[in-house]
């Protein structure tokens, strides 16, 4: 249990760059777990790339974009305390990162994959694919979205190839202890694949300390980059034991005399096997990269890294507690964990209404500029607030006042 002495220092609000987000000037936006607004800095870079695509001047435009977009891997590595060589760009979504991880692992018939009953549907979609190939799929029941390490231990065995979990549950906000989970998973010789889309950019994640094998996260939520770009961390120590799903021009070593000369060479052989790059880029999808999205996302991560992950997490913890008190004052039941170690940036509460009524309430609030979500899975759910460091107490006060009015109808 975290004591008051362990709570991180309080940082001045001026540090949190609230002015970057236009939507925060209007109403109360508490829906970062769904899709985030983009900061002004990122939008400016995105427009800059769009302009350069239109003007198409200045020499080799594609090489210039590629060189600029590579900075995303540096910012992503800084965000989660990884090596730059452990970061891959995984297409447009968390789902694609998970797909890349499992194609790299390639479970076989007779092996098993373990996941949780309360995962986001994309986890189910991925496991269905392997079930059709003869892989056994096991789900650990997680009442209220809370993971029991004992139940997970009971589900894995010597035939477990991989465990797939969300580090923060998308409905309840339960935050798993990845160190404990990784110890269980590695104890049976399996890989740990983490969906961290509800953690990266909000609650601190240190992969060197936690020990996952793969971490997938799209940028459109807490990393504030809705430009169709996602990240995949692949632990250095496992690179050489994995399959490479999609060999391509982008993840093989460039010829010594460069690709332009290679393309002009009449003797080049398209079927000649080429050497893979020696870092996580080997796991990326081939073909053209989303350079505009990568460059924009770099700016979003620069904001978060500039604030610092300790400060981001501390600010969110403070606001989550403030929102929790506000909801209690309205007589509402909190569904998210009470234990501080398992809390996150997601705070879900029950209204006592049917889920369709919750959806009606959320839609009515949205029309008035107060943005949250109705979310449910596996027999539990309610109205979900998702709070970022860019919010303030006034956002929560405004939302609570508007919610009180809707509940009284």
Task: Kindly report the pTM of this predicted structure.
Answer: 0.94
Whether residue 5 has pLDDT greater than 80: no
Among 1-5, 280-284, 361-365, the range scoring the smallest mean pLDDT is 1-5
Whether residue 4 has pLDDT greater than 60: no
Quote the mean pLDDT of the chain: 93
State the pLDDT confidence band at 3, using cuts at 50, 70 and 90. very low
Whether residue 9 has pLDDT greater than 80: no
Average pLDDT over residues 44-65: 86
> Quick one: 46 and 163 in the same domain?
yes
Q: How far is the C-alpha of 97 from the C-alpha of 186, rounded, in Å?
A: 21
Which range marks the domain in which residue 276 is found? 42-304
Q: Residue 33 belongs to a domain with what CATH number?
A: 3.90.1150.10
> Quick one: 321 and 395 in the same domain?
yes
Decide which of 35 and 257 is more confident: 35
Q: List CB contacts of 15: < 8 A, sequence separation 6 or more.
A: 307, 311
Number of domains in the chain: 2
Last residue of a domain, one of 260, 275, 304: 304
SS3 content of the chain, % helix, strand, coil (to 5): 45, 15, 40
The per-residue pLDDT for 90 is: 94
Q: How far is the C-alpha of 46 from the C-alpha of 228, rounded, in Å?
A: 12
> Quick one: 358 and 262 in the same domain?
no
Contact between 320 and 15 (Cβ < 8 Å): no
Q: Over the Cα atoms of the chain, what is R_g?
A: 22
Q: Residue 68 belongs to a domain with what CATH number?
A: 3.40.640.10
> Quick one: 290 and 319 in the same domain?
no
> Quick one: 215 and 320 in the same domain?
no
Last residue of a domain, one of 261, 282, 304: 304
């Amino acid at each position: 249990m975290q004591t008051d002495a362990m709570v991180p220092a309080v940082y001045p609000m001026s540090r949190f760059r609230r002015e970057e987000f236009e939507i925060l000037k209007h109403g109360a936006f508490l829906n970062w777990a769904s899709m985030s607004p983009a900061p002004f800095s990122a939008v400016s870079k995105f427009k800059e790339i769009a302009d350069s695509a239109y003007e198409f001047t200045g020499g080799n435009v594609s090489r210039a974009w590629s060189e600029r977009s590579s900075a995303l891997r540096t910012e992503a590595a800084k965000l989660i305390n990884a090596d730059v060589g452990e970061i891959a760009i995984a297409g447009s979504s968390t789902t694609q990162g998970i797909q890349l991880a499992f194609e790299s692992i390639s479970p076989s018939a007779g092996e098993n994959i373990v996941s949780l009953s309360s995962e986001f549907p994309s986890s189910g979609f991925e496991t269905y694919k392997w079930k059709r190939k003869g892989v056994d799929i096991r789900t650990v029941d997680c009442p209220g979205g809370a993971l029991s390490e004992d139940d997970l231990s009971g589900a894995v065995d010597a035939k477990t190839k991989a465990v797939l979990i969300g580090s923060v549950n998308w409905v309840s906000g339960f935050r798993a202890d990845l160190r404990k989970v990784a110890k269980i998973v590695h104890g049976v010789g399996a890989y740990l694949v983490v969906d961290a889309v509800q953690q990266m950019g909000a609650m601190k994640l240190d992969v060197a300390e936690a020990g996952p094998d793969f971490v997938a996260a799209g940028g459109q939520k807490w990393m504030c980059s809705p430009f169709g770009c996602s990240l995949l961390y692949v632990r250095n120590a496992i690179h050489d034991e994995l399959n490479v799903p999609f060999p391509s021009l982008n993840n093989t070593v460039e010829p010594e005399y460069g690709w332009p000369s290679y393309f002009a060479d009449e003797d080049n052989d398209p079927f000649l096997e080429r050497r893979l790059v020696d870092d996580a880029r080997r796991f990326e999808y081939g073909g053209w990269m989303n350079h505009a999205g990568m460059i924009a996302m770099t700016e979003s991560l620069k904001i978060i890294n500039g604030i610092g992950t300790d400060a981001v997490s501390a600010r969110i913890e403070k606001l989550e507690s403030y929102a929790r008190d506000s909801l209690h004052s309205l007589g509402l039941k909190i569904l998210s964990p009470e234990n501080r170690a398992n809390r996150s940036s997601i705070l879900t509460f029950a209204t006592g209404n049917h889920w369709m009524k919750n959806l009606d309430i959320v839609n009515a609030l949205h029309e008035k500029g107060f943005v949250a979500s109705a979310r449910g899975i596996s027999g539990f759910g309610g109205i979900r607030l998702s709070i970022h460091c860019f919010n303030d107490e006034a956002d929560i006060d405004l939302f609570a006042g508007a919610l009180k009015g809707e509940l009284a109808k």
